[in-house]
Every structure is written in C-alpha cells, then in structure tokens.
Structure 1
C-alpha cells in the first residue's frame, strides 16, 4: 500500500476517547465547523478507549463519534491505522481507509521523503503478537458479544479502562527511539502508541512519536516539522 501525504495533513493519536476524555470530540467538532482545516486526516490508533466492530456495547457508547468520522469522510480523506484499543473497524467506517495492524507499517511519500507510518505496537515479541491475533479474532469477539448479558463484560472493561492512568512519559526517549529506527528503512518514521510527543534524528532518519491527544491536547501536521498544534 502506498499513500501520498498532503501538505495540510493532520495526524491524531491516542485520544482514548471515553466519557471522561472528550478531546477527540472537541477536535472533530472543530473540523466540522471549519475552525481546524485539512484535506487529509490520519487517525493513528487508540482513538477510542476501546472499540471493536463486533462488540455492541462499545459501538453504542461511541455512535456519535462514529457518525462524526463518517460525516467527515464524505469531504476529506481519512486514514485510520488500527491500534491495540480499536480494531476490526471496516464495517463501522465504510468510506475510511482502514489499515489493520498486520498491514502496518504503511509506506507513504511526503514530497521527496519516504515515510513509514504505524500505530506503534509492531516489531514486538512473539507472545504480544499472539495476544493481538487472539483479541482480534472475529469469531471469538462474536461469542463474547453473545455472552455479554446486560453488558456485564463490556462494562467491566469500560470502567477498568476509564480509571487507567495513561499519561506517563518514558525516562530515556532517545534510546527508545534509536532502537525503533532500526526497524524501518525510510527517511521519516511516524508512530503513536507511546504517548511521547517527541522526535529524534539518527542515521539520517527522523523518528516522530505523536503525542496523545488526551494527555498533551495536541495534534500534528507534518508540514510544521512536527510542531504540535494545540487543540
């Protein structure tokens, strides 16, 4: 898969949207009103605190946000890289380009620069990869949805996630970024997942970790050399 990144493209990552973290709703409303403008939107994963295409409770909880994304996708190009909190999304977003974890990183171009884009939970140990395969299994999720009487399972997951502290920073970002760069063969690497909101240059490669929208209240435009724009 090949993408051409437009100059006004916006990248949003890790908003972990729920009833307490409303930043993504605010962002979408600013897009709808024209206060924030772009012709291309990259949703970099973990946009919702949790959602899967098979689980009724989380679809109902987030229907308004789903509708807003679909409305925007009528007028601008939306690319959604599935994360570890949001997956099996194709049926929810018919006009959005959905990129599953197994198809990441995706190759893109920005001017003359080559770019690789991923949510970030790739190049990981085998046991994490196995876990990711299991939790994305369509039939397993359908069974769990069937057994979710009165949404007891979903509500347990929901209230566990809503209390989780996700706004922590790593102590040595540069060492982390240097190791991440080794997995890629492009001029620019763009990831979310780690909530850092920092960049690192090594061996003529630029690594950028997009900030968490809910933690840093920022999104990014590649044209601004990854200077965050406040929500």
Structure 2
C-alpha cells in the first residue's frame, strides 16, 4: 500500500463512469474541468472510468482518445490520482503525468485531516479464480497477443465486448450487499474510512473500526463526489453532473 497521498479539500472523486460511445456523459464532465468551469483541487478516479481502456491494445486508446487527451492535459495542472479497475489497466504510458495505482498496489493509503483513508477500486479480496484472471489479462505478453488478434479480426473481439458491456445495468441493487462487504473487509483493515467503487451501490456502512463507503457509479445518473471541509461531519458530498447546471 502507498503512504504518500494527501487528499485535498475540494477534491473530486469519480468512480465507474464506464465511458464508451454508448455512455458518453463523462466527456462533458471532463471538458468542464479542462475549461475550468468545474474546479477540483484534485481529481481522483476510482477505476472503470472507461468501459475498455487497455494499455497495449491500441484500438481501445483510439476509441477513448478525446477523454484521454483531456485527462492528460488536466494532470499537468492539478494532481490526478487513478486507481486502475478491471476495465482500465496498464495505463502508465497512456497517462504519464497521472499517479497510477494498479490492483497490486491497492488499497491506497491516504490522509485527510489526520484521518487514515483507504481507497480501492473494489475488486481486491476476490476469490482465487478472479485473481488469476486479473493477473492474466494484465500480462504484457497476453495483451500483445490480444492486440494482434483484435487487429487481424478488424476489432471483432472488442466490438463484441462493447456490445456485451452496453447491455449491463449499472444501477441495479446488489442484494445482500452489507453481508457481502462485512465478510470481505470488517475488522481486516485499520483505517477511519474505506472507500471503494466497482459495486455501484452508493452505500455507507458504519463498522466499529471504520466507515465503509461504496461510491455510486458516474455511469448511473452521473454521480461524483466532492471531499468536504474537515469542519463538516460527513466526508463526501454527492453531486449530480448535468451539462449547463
């Protein structure tokens, strides 16, 4: 885990935007930050910001090139922190000025107002099969082969994946979520807050040792979160992005 990140008051936290040509809302949000119509002190991406952005698979970079360009330019002016997810990974060459944290470096330890905050995309503490899968899809050799196959097939694999992902319901309720999270995290970590994305539940659970926050997905109603003043009781303020508001 990293111990070098200080969260700033006024930071924007964004999770699970799942940006694609079928879910384009993130582009206007990023444009507004780039144009300084929105002015975060810091920008924290919690993973799955893109539906498919894989370092080394160049077609995914082409599909997302406009958002990638704006994020890269923003990262030259303010600190941008990016926790890679299961839909966006191997991003070091794509975002050279962003502080990137792959799944192997999560949860990321942060400090805010003398509070210890752990950040993770949400696919840590998974079963063995999932861990093997995530390791394989990030392997440079496998990514290289995937890129060749996708190019030769005229992007059949990624177009099929995009069609499948576009049918997912990003706003569905995870029944039994509290029990599931308790089994994963309760009493395992020492912190004041544990913040995740991935599950899209927009829920807060208060445990004896820490407060757990599962962020709502930007893909569902364009939710994002602002770090509030240390003088206020709640850590995050939920906002809904709407162009023109």
TM-score range, shorter chain: over 0.9
Q: CA deviation at 1:205?
A: 0.9
Which of residues 106, 109, 124 is equivalent to 1:107? 109
Alignment correspondent of 1:228: 238
Residue segments in structure 1 that go unaligned for 5+ positions in a row? none
Which of residues 35, 38, 43 is equivalent to 1:36? 38
User: Which stretch shows the higher mean deviation, 111-120 or 29-38?
Assistant: 29-38
Looking at structure 2, the residues matched to 85 and 114 of structure 1 have their Cα atoms a distance apart, in angstroms, of 27
Looking at structure 2, the residues matched to 36 and 198 of structure 1 have their Cα atoms a distance apart, in angstroms, of 25
Residue segments in structure 2 that go unaligned for 5+ positions in a row? 229-233
Alignment correspondent of 1:199: 204
Which of residues 129, 132, 153 is equivalent to 2:131? 129
Looking at structure 2, the residues matched to 58 and 176 of structure 1 have their Cα atoms a distance apart, in angstroms, of 33
1:119 aligns with 2:124: no
- Does structure 1 conserve the Cα–Cα contact (< 8 Å) formed by 2:52 and 2:88? yes
Alignment correspondent of 2:12: 10
User: Which stretch shows the higher mean deviation, 22-31 or 124-133?
Assistant: 22-31
Alignment correspondent of 1:165: 169
Alignment correspondent of 2:50: 48
- Does structure 2 conserve the Cα–Cα contact (< 8 Å) formed by 1:123 and 1:183? no
Deviations 1:168-192 (A, max 9, x none): 1112343334333333211110100
- Does structure 1 conserve the Cα–Cα contact (< 8 Å) formed by 2:170 and 2:219? no
1:64 aligns with 2:66: yes
Q: CA deviation at 1:23?
A: 2.1
- Does structure 2 conserve the Cα–Cα contact (< 8 Å) formed by 1:181 and 1:207? no
RMSD: 1.4
Q: Structure 2-normalised TM-score?
A: 0.90
- Does structure 2 conserve the Cα–Cα contact (< 8 Å) formed by 1:12 and 1:42? yes
Q: CA deviation at 1:216?
A: 3.1
- Give the match's secondary structure for 1:89: coil
Looking at structure 2, the residues matched to 115 and 31 of structure 1 have their Cα atoms a distance apart, in angstroms, of 25
Looking at structure 2, the residues matched to 52 and 79 of structure 1 have their Cα atoms a distance apart, in angstroms, of 17
- The structure richer in helix per residue is 1
Looking at structure 2, the residues matched to 147 and 76 of structure 1 have their Cα atoms a distance apart, in angstroms, of 38
User: Which stretch shows the higher mean deviation, 148-157 or 173-182?
Assistant: 173-182
- Give the match's secondary structure for 2:195: strand
Q: CA deviation at 1:59?
A: 0.8
